[in-house]
């Protein structure tokens, strides 16, 4: 039985003797996390060994109190923090400086949880944001407006149906905070000191705020005014936490560490946000644009579409895993994207330079492989990527690097 977690480095097979990993643990790993860790059972083909391969994730998986697995990305922690900063729009908030002291993803998420809890406590001390909500109830004392239609349908009831507006803290802005704090408390990520801070933030809210579940998308695209402007940064942290939280598979003391970073999706989101911020103002980029496929009723979700004004000029498809050369499937996919958008430039974007890059034309579509590297200086890598994109796009598109 290992004293420390078993480390699974990204895309690097790890072999274990059959007696080094109990069959029950291996089966549970395969059943619960088979999409994230490729699990090969001991067979003659594997020479009687377990073979575990991290399929592009960072984070931590705990099966029980004795068995856990550290998912180690090939990218440095500092680079991942920079990618998270862009992907979740955290760069504009003042709390980031201290987070960069983290030495691991576990430390980082502990700091994220601690930061959110402290901000919630600070807001509680000033008073949680309130807003008006519509209420409907049957009461003897009339306040607000009587719903005569509902009242007439139930003449046997003495009290009328009344609709009224009520100012309350039990609104989505606060419910999102409470739901996120609850997910942190059900996890094994935070240190004991951070858990204490999260409990201090959580318990007072349960009196007046309803615990409701929320999706990741509920944390973004919200409206902020003068009285709740500080909620924007807290909701950004909620977005990050909820997007990386894994389901709690058990209760009690045997909690599960909840965060798993999908590096491919993080890379895609990071590149999209980078282009959004650094492309010249007269250009724009749309991420995950849905494009109809003829009259089939189906659609593509294109990673990135670059526009000049209202005209699409190029499509990009990000590929986090670095092969020696683009696959036939990847080439076919990006050509289909370009044809669907009516553009002549299509790009496959990788985090490393390929051994056999491609620059060719298929059916009138110019296809090129570009690199947005993940070295120590993300800003420099990003500027080089935009420069290469500019040079590769047809001259009439007019993309520039400034």
* 279-394: in CATH 3.10.450: no
pLDDT of residue 290: 86
Nearest to 216 by CA among 193, 198, 241: 241
Task: Say what the pLDDT of residue 13 is.
Answer: 96
CATH 3.40.1350 residue window(s) in the chain:
279-394
Q: What is the torsion angle, in degrees rounded to the nearest 10, for the CA atoms of residue 372, residue 376, residue 379 and residue 381?
A: -30
89: which residues sit within 8 A by CB, 6+ positions away? 236, 273
pLDDT at 263: 92
* The pLDDT value given to residue 106: 80
The pLDDT of residue 257 is 46
Whole-model pTM?
0.79
- At residue 102, the pLDDT reads 64
CA angle, 349 as apex, 345 and 354 as ends, to 5°?
115
Give the per-residue pLDDT at 167.
Answer: 87
pLDDT digits (tens, 9 = 90+) for 270-323: 999 999 888 877 778 999 888 877 667 788 888 999 998 888 999 999 999 888
pLDDT lower than 70: segments of the chain: 1-3, 91-102, 135-165, 246-258, 294-295, 394-402
Tens of pLDDT, residue by residue over 311-363, are 899 999 999 988 899 999 999 999 999 998 999 999 999 999 999 998 888 88
Contact 320, 351 (CB under 8 A): yes
Q: Are 65 and 254 in contact (CB under 8 A)?
A: yes
């Amino acid at each position: 039985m290992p004293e420390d977690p078993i480390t699974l480095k990204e895309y690097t097979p790890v072999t274990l003797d059959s007696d080094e990993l109990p069959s029950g643990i291996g089966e549970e790993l395969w059943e619960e996390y088979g999409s994230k860790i490729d699990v090969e059972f001991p067979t003659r083909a594997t020479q009687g060994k377990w073979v575990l391969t991290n399929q592009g994730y960072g984070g931590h998986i705990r099966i029980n109190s004795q068995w856990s697995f550290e998912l180690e990305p090939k990218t440095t922690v500092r680079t991942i923090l920079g990618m998270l900063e862009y992907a979740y729009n955290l760069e504009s908030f003042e709390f980031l400086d201290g987070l960069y002291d983290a030495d691991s993803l576990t430390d980082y998420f502990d700091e994220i949880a601690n930061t959110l809890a402290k901000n919630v406590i600070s807001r509680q001390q000033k008073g949680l944001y309130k807003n008006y909500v519509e209420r409907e109830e049957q009461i003897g004392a009339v306040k607000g407006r009587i719903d005569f239609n509902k009242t007439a349908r139930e003449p046997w009831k003495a009290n009328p149906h009344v609709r009224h507006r009520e100012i309350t803290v039990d609104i989505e802005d606060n419910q999102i905070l409470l739901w996120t704090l609850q997910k942190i408390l059900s996890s094994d990520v935070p240190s004991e000191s951070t858990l204490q801070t999260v409990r201090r933030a959580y318990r007072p809210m349960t009196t007046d705020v309803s615990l409701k579940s929320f999706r990741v998308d509920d944390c973004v695209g919200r409206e902020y005014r003068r009285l709740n402007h500080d909620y924007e940064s807290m909701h950004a942290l909620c977005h990050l936490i909820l997007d990386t939280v894994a389901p709690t598979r058990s209760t009690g003391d045997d909690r599960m560490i909840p965060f798993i970073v999908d590096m491919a999706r993080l890379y895609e989101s990071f590149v999209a946000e980078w282009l959004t911020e650094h492309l010249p103002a007269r250009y724009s980029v749309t991420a995950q644009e849905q494009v109809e496929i003829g009259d089939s009723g189906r659609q593509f979700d294109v990673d990135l579409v670059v526009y000049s004004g209202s005209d699409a000029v190029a499509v990009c498809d990000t590929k986090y895993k670095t092969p020696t050369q683009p696959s036939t499937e990847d080439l076919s996919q990006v050509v289909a994207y370009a044809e669907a958008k009516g553009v002549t430039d299509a790009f496959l974007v990788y985090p490393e330079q390929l051994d056999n890059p491609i620059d060719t034309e298929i059916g009138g579509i110019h296809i090129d492989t570009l690199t947005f590297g993940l070295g120590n200086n993300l800003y420099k890598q990003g500027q080089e990527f935009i420069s290469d994109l500019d040079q590769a796009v047809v001259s009439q598109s007019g993309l520039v690097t400034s």
